[in-house]
Chains A and B, each alone.
Chain A
Amino acid sequence: MLEISGLDVHYDGVHALRGLSLTVGQGEIVALLGNNGAGKTTTMSATSGLVRPSGGKVLFEGEDITGLAAHKITSRGLVHCPEGRRIFSTLSVHDNLLLGGYLVRDQAEIKRRIDHVYGLLPRLAERRAQQGGTLSGGEQQMLAIGRAMVTGPRLLLLDEPSMGLAPLVVAQVMELIADINASGTAVLLVEQNASAALKIAHRGYVLENGVGTLSGTGEELRSDPRVVEAYLGGS
């Protein structure tokens, strides 16, 4: 479904990605792990068109989308839910969701999708008229994911959805991601919280200094001593 091959990204002089390759198959959750500065967010941004790669190829559903504008990539069903949640803080929760449905022209369809999100996340429904910026961190993350769901992704890129959240809330977010995946959406999940991510991921990659160093199924990675040592806190 998504095939990234030999991806290179330079930011004024910094070689952030060095020939990264990865794939996401139909219906999969793929985790992308690594430390700060390893190139995880860059991978996401280069895939969704926020950053223009300097080399390599991104194929989505067999078509070359390398270097396309971000809004065109979104319109193909590859939806990026960015790091730091990026809620439109002074707009209402409902307006945020409507923006997720910006490309959907059928009003009834937008309503159906938003109602679906409200059904899954009743807290958002209660706060629909409230400004997005007044929600708690966990609620903002749920809103960010809900907003991406309204866009109708076939592949969802999720960047650090657990960032800054309490463990209980992390578990809820991961459960939501698993639910979205169960209804047929493929997910590429960037996480620093490797143990949470590998619990729901089918496969994973480990990224170091802009190159992929390890890959395997969720099970394999969780038991790989190098992953345990570096990302799961030893023992």
Chain B
Amino acid sequence: MTQLVWNGLFVGSFYALVALGYSMVYGIIKLLNFAHGDLYMLGAFSGFAVLSALGGVSAAMTLPVLMAVLLLTMVSTGLAGVVLERVAYRPLRGAPRLSLLITAVGASFAIEYGMRAATGPDPRVYPVRLSGTSIEVFGARLTLQQLALIGVALVLMVGLNLLVTRTREGRAMRAIALDPRTSALMGIDVNAVISRTFFLGSALAGAAGVMAGAYYGKIDFLMGFLIGLKAFTAAVIGGIGNIPGTMLGGLVLGLLESFGTYWLGGEWRDVFAFGVLILFLTVRPTGLLGERVTERV
């Protein structure tokens, strides 16, 4: 039982990381960025490239090296997100939402098959594994690295939430989400803030990509497709555009999958996850924490 909870929290914490970028981008420009899962894939490959260049990692050094790789990957994936926004989405600012959505699907294919063209279709074995000695925590077995990665994910999520709720930059993001034109009148450079939002969201997806590579041990150019949909599900469960809601949604989805797999068998995992998505879209489309606003006109 406790094992199921831990597994769920672990997988859920990187669902949450990916979902946050989804949610932030949706919040600020109302775009469902279908290419977001592919940024996660880019992150996994960028981490792979760095780790391979280092030429294997000694077991004792795994954690510090992994952290350094994580940081590098976050920067490179973040920049990839900025380029994506600049090239694919900004020229369509003000265009109908459907055009933007179709562009996002196109961008997703472009990144996936661009990666396939660059590295070939075969899956890669991640040069680092989260094995190591496992320890007992509340009757469940997990490794120190796993614990560390959950910790990193938590730190990133809490940090993001503080940034959005407490800082001038976060206030600008929230203002643009509500009304970009008026935000510009406050002196906010709207394009620059949107760029930085893509950077942050993509960096979190990149971090999750490295974590997933190290956890599952295998990466391929289509790995972002499913996680993109899962992140969307997590965001909907929690309340899309709502940061704490999205984190919660990721964790809830991870737990649901973990228990669903246990009860129904592994082959039902995705059916279970997307069944929950449909349930939420029907019954509570605003998500767990998405609230309706009372407004006087």
**6 A-B contacts (beta carbon < 8 Å):** A86-B182, A89-B293, A89-B295, A98-B168, A99-B175, A102-B187
The minimal Cβ–Cβ distance linking A114 to chain B, given in whole angstroms, is: 13
- Chain B residues at the A interface, C-beta cutoff of 8 Å: 168, 171-172, 174-175, 178-179, 181-190, 293-296
* Cα distance, A151 to B186, chains bound together (Å): 7
Q: Name A86's contact: one of B179, B190, B295 (CB within 8 Å).
A: B179
Mark A74-101 against chain B: 1 for CB-CB distance below 8 A, else 0. 1100011110001011110001001110
Instruction: Please name the 4 residue pairs, one residue from A and one from B, whose CB atoms are nearest each other, closest first.
Output: A70-B184, A103-B187, A74-B187, A133-B295
**With contact pairs A70-B185, A80-B185, A99-B186 given, residues A88 and B294 touching in the complex (Cβ less than 8 Å):** no
* Cα distance, A89 to B178, chains bound together (Å): 8
Q: Which residues of B contact A134 (CB under 8 A)?
A: 294-296
**Cβ-based interface call for A131 (8 A):** yes
Q: Which residues of B contact A151 (CB under 8 A)?
A: 186-187
Contact of A99 with B178 in the complex, beta carbons under 8 Å:
no
Q: Name B178's contact: one of A48, A90, A98 (CB within 8 Å).
A: A90
The minimal Cβ–Cβ distance linking A30 to chain B, given in whole angstroms, is: 20
Q: Which residues of A contact B168 (CB under 8 A)?
A: 98, 102
**Cβ-based interface call for A69 (8 A):** yes
**With contact pairs A71-B187, A102-B172 given, residues A88 and B293 touching in the complex (Cβ less than 8 Å):** no
The minimal Cβ–Cβ distance linking B162 to chain A, given in whole angstroms, is: 15
* Cα distance, A70 to B188, chains bound together (Å): 9
* Cα distance, A134 to B297, chains bound together (Å): 9
Q: Name A82's contact: one of B174, B185, B189 (CB within 8 Å).
A: B185
* Cα distance, A27 to B154, chains bound together (Å): 54
Central interface residue in A49, A89, A131, A134, by most chain B CB within 10 Å: A89
* Cα distance, A181 to B62, chains bound together (Å): 65
Interface of B is mostly: helix
Q: Which residues of A contact B294 (CB under 8 A)?
A: 131, 133-134
**With contact pairs A71-B190, A91-B175, A99-B171 given, residues A48 and B185 touching in the complex (Cβ less than 8 Å):** yes
* Cα distance, A79 to B186, chains bound together (Å): 8
* Cα distance, A102 to B183, chains bound together (Å): 10
Residue of B nearest to A150 (CB): B186
* Cα distance, A50 to B185, chains bound together (Å): 8
Residue of B nearest to A91 (CB): B174
Mark A158-175 against chain B: 1 for CB-CB distance below 8 A, else 0. 000000000000000000
**Cβ-based interface call for A22 (8 A):** no
* Cα distance, A131 to B171, chains bound together (Å): 14
Q: Name B175's contact: one of A48, A49, A79, A88 (CB within 8 Å).
A: A88
What total of chain A residues lie within 8 Å of the partner, measured CB to CB? Answer: 31
- How many pairs of residues, A versus B, come closer than 8 Å at their CB atoms? 80
Contact of A69 with B296 in the complex, beta carbons under 8 Å:
no
Q: Which residues of B contact A137 (CB under 8 A)?
A: 296
**Cβ-based interface call for A178 (8 A):** no
The minimal Cβ–Cβ distance linking A108 to chain B, given in whole angstroms, is: 15
Contact of A50 with B184 in the complex, beta carbons under 8 Å:
yes
Contact of B179 with A88 in the complex, beta carbons under 8 Å:
yes
**With contact pairs A95-B171, A99-B171, A99-B175 given, residues A90 and B293 touching in the complex (Cβ less than 8 Å):** yes
**Cβ-based interface call for A232 (8 A):** no
Residue of B nearest to A50 (CB): B181
* Cα distance, A55 to B25, chains bound together (Å): 36
Q: Which residues of A contact B185 (CB under 8 A)?
A: 48, 50, 70-71, 74, 79-82, 86
**Cβ-based interface call for A135 (8 A):** yes
**With contact pairs A133-B293, A133-B296 given, residues A102 and B182 touching in the complex (Cβ less than 8 Å):** no
**Cβ-based interface call for A183 (8 A):** no
Q: Which residues of B contact A75 (CB under 8 A)?
A: 187
Q: Which residues of A contact B171 (CB under 8 A)?
A: 91, 95, 98-99, 102
Q: Which residues of A contact B184 (CB under 8 A)?
A: 49-50, 69-71, 74
Contact of B293 with A91 in the complex, beta carbons under 8 Å:
no
Q: Which residues of B contact A98 (CB under 8 A)?
A: 168, 171
* Cα distance, A135 to B181, chains bound together (Å): 21
Contact of A135 with B296 in the complex, beta carbons under 8 Å:
yes
Contacting B at CB under 8 A, from A114-172, are 131, 133-137, 147, 151
**With contact pairs A75-B187, A91-B174 given, residues A136 and B296 touching in the complex (Cβ less than 8 Å):** yes
Contact of A88 with B178 in the complex, beta carbons under 8 Å:
yes
* Cα distance, A99 to B172, chains bound together (Å): 7
The minimal Cβ–Cβ distance linking B186 to chain A, given in whole angstroms, is: 5
Contact of B295 with A74 in the complex, beta carbons under 8 Å:
no
